[in-house]
Structure 1
Amino acid sequence: MLVGLVGTGGAYALFTSSATAETNASAEALVEEGGKLFVANCATCHGLNLQGTTQGPTLIGVGAAATDFQVGTGRMPLAFTGPQAERKPVQFTEEQIQALAVFVASKGPGPAIPADMYLTGEADVSNGAQLFVNNCAMCHNVAGAGGALTEGKYAPPLADIAPKYTYEAMLTGPQNMPVFNDTNLTPEEKADIITYLKYLDETPSVGGFTLGSLGPVSEGLFIWIFGLGGIVAITVWLTAKSN
């Protein structure tokens, strides 16, 4: 029994040490790879030590979530200077994005990439709709169609956005968006909002043509162009008939 206990304990200790060493080596390799990518693609604006420059803010303490969002949605590297970063095709692979996120997170604590359990889109859609109306609709529109802000800035449309990026945007507050940390909106409430947005993506409009889901703006324009245009056309036709 003594031999068995010693042997089992020794094997467990050896296995645990090997697994820990392998994990540490993998993390160090990711940090090293992320550092190389950062120097080649990001350091010009953000500084070699993430301290920031006149061209870009410091990244110390922004965390993995902010890096994953900005790079994963193609907003970074920045294509040109403007009121805000434009979404564009992603420049890196998933592995490279992960390496960059790990590297930035290694330089200072910050929000982490969300757990998959909050990204399923299977939470409370009703509560998510109420939370979205209270916290997001004033900029993004109640249907998530987006809207204009001041000085050339805008709230982007939220259709067909990966749940991970929606969560990370709420968590980190990119561009002009406020930060909704876990005190403002709990992880469960963020999951509810993601479920509501998924519901909007999958549910057809019961009112017919959505006209961009922009509400009175697009509806009024439609009436002016097609409604009044049709009335004028009918008037001209009736007059021609009478003559």
Structure 2
Amino acid sequence: MKKLSARRRHPLAALVVLLLALTATGGLYAALAPAPKAQADDSNQSLQINEGKKLFSVGCASCHGMSGQGSSDGPSLVGVGSAAVDFQVGTGRMPAQQPGAQVPKHKVIYTQGEINQLAAFIASLGPGPAAPTKDQYSPSGADIGRGGELFRTNCSQCHNFIGKGGALTEGKSAPTLKGVDPKHIYEAMLTGPQNMPSFPDSTMPQENKADIIAYLNEVDSANSDNPGGFTLGAIGPVSEGLFAWVFGLGTLLGVAVWIAARTTKAKKS
């Protein structure tokens, strides 16, 4: 005890204690402080949001409001998520050229970088579906057969059995899915744009969405060079039956009229 007391009274004891305290503090800070990469990511995200807000105020705020709250000319964008922005702007549907029953696909006027900035700003307004990663929408390794079953059950009523599209009511239509980017197909299922119902992951898991994309890719490539001739819209027995009735029955009627005319002429002779 006497030796310990003597060490405490040593002139360098306070310095040693201070050094130990500083070392412990530095170690705790290094262990608990945010990583530089995380700080850089936060800074980049803030920059994306700020740039997206500038783009939004110029190209979108006139319809959707300066804060995305919506107006009589456009719906609220709070909570739609980055996936909806990437789909609508990435397919050229937004900014809309004019109001109507349905906004059609047009030429894309923003770069992908600008679309990402707009999506970051809209995502900051409220939680919503995030834009998918390539691993999510890639059809690699997906089940094409199961994708066909899912598509025929959930999508073919509007988009046709092989995604050719079709007319709906009140001037609306289901667009063709031929040549559509897999990412945009995934985002459409996730967000349900315009007249389409949404299929969130709780309703349709990610792997099922990838299966549908794989099926559409397969039928798209299979019908690019149809060995059977005209596809007649690939509607199936409806168009084929109509063709048979119009041309088949028309041919039979023509032959019957020709025979009757020949018979009448022979009797007169």
Give the TM interval when normalised to the shorter protein: 0.7 to 0.9
Where does residue 131 of structure 1 map in the other structure?
150
**2:177 is equivalent to residue 158 of structure 1:** yes
- How well do the aligned residues superpose, as a CA RMSD in angstroms? 3.1
CA shift, 1:148, in A, is: 1.2
Identical pairs, percent? 50
CA shift, 1:229, in A, is: 6.5
**2:42 is equivalent to residue 21 of structure 1:** no
Q: Matches of residues 28-47 of structure 1 in structure 2 within 5 Å? A: 28-47=46-65
**2:107 is equivalent to residue 92 of structure 1:** no
**TM-score (norm. length: structure 1):** 0.85
Where does residue 20 of structure 2 map in the other structure?
none
Where does residue 126 of structure 2 map in the other structure?
108
217-226 or 71-80, which moves further after superposition? Answer: 217-226
Q: Secondary structure at the match of 1:202?
A: helix
Where does residue 213 of structure 1 map in the other structure?
234
One-letter amino acid of the counterpart of residue 153, structure 2: N
Counterpart-to-counterpart distance in 2, 1:195 and 1:72: 21
**Could you give the per-residue CA deviations for residues 163-209 of structure 1, whole angstroms, max 9, x where no partner exists?**
10001000000011111111210011111111111111111446432
One-letter amino acid of the counterpart of residue 163, structure 1: P
Larger radius of gyration: 2
Q: What is the aligned counterpart of 2:77 among 59, 62, 80?
A: 59
| Count of residue correspondences | 236
One-letter amino acid of the counterpart of residue 158, structure 1: L
One-letter amino acid of the counterpart of residue 95, structure 1: G
Counterpart-to-counterpart distance in 1, 2:39 and 2:202: 36
**CA 1:142–1:22 in structure 2 vs 1: closer, same or farther (change >3 Å)?**
same
Q: Secondary structure at the match of 2:93?
A: coil
Counterpart-to-counterpart distance in 1, 2:246 and 2:113: 50
Where does residue 147 of structure 1 map in the other structure?
166
**TM-score (norm. length: structure 2):** 0.78
Where does residue 216 of structure 2 map in the other structure?
197
One-letter amino acid of the counterpart of residue 234, structure 2: S
CA shift, 1:226, in A, is: 5.3
Q: What is the aligned counterpart of 1:181 among 200, 213, 229?
A: 200
Listed as ranges, the gaps of 5+ residues in structure 2 are 1-23
Where does residue 8 of structure 2 map in the other structure?
none
Q: Secondary structure at the match of 2:145?
A: helix
Where does residue 78 of structure 1 map in the other structure?
96
Listed as ranges, the gaps of 5+ residues in structure 1 are 1-5
